[in-house]
Amino acid sequence: MKTSSFFDYKKNCRKSAWATPEHLSDEDWAFTRAVVKELEGGTPDSLFALIWEDYGHAMAFFNRILGWPEGLVYCQELSYVHKCAFAGMQRHDLPRLKEAIAKRG
């Protein structure tokens, strides 16, 4: 069986909180809630600090929560988070993250 940190071969999709919630641990869900809080009322700097608090959080966030493994590289630069990622996550990912949290309860 094929395995990947960011791809679900059974569902043929990238792992994410909304498409493959079964891959998230309780710790991942707690982290997802913290990310939502930052996207709703934080700043690019505070989101960057949260994500990169440790590499494990960053890997979980990009590989299993957002399904955007490329973000591990792109978002290592705070300038990219300021220019693109924060606004993009607010616009595209925040609604899906909130819905996934609501479904989980």
- Asked whether residue 37 carries a pLDDT value surpassing 80, the answer given is yes
- Asked whether residue 1 carries a pLDDT value surpassing 70, the answer given is no
pLDDT at 3: 84
Q: pLDDT-derived band of residue 65, with 50, 70 and 90 as boundaries? A: very high
- Asked whether residue 83 carries a pLDDT value surpassing 80, the answer given is yes
pTM, 2 dp: 0.92
Percent of the chain with pLDDT strictly greater than 70: 99
User: Do 48 and 81 form a contact (C-beta atoms < 8 A)?
Assistant: yes
Q: pLDDT, tens digit, for every residue of 44-58?
A: 999 999 999 999 999
Q: Taking residues 64-83, report their average pLDDT.
A: 96
Distance, CA of 40 to chain centre: 14
Which whole-number Å values give the CA distances from 85 to 4, 8, 57, in the listed order?
A: 24, 24, 17
- Asked whether residue 12 carries a pLDDT value surpassing 80, the answer given is yes
Q: How far apart are CA 93 and CA 72, in angstroms?
A: 16
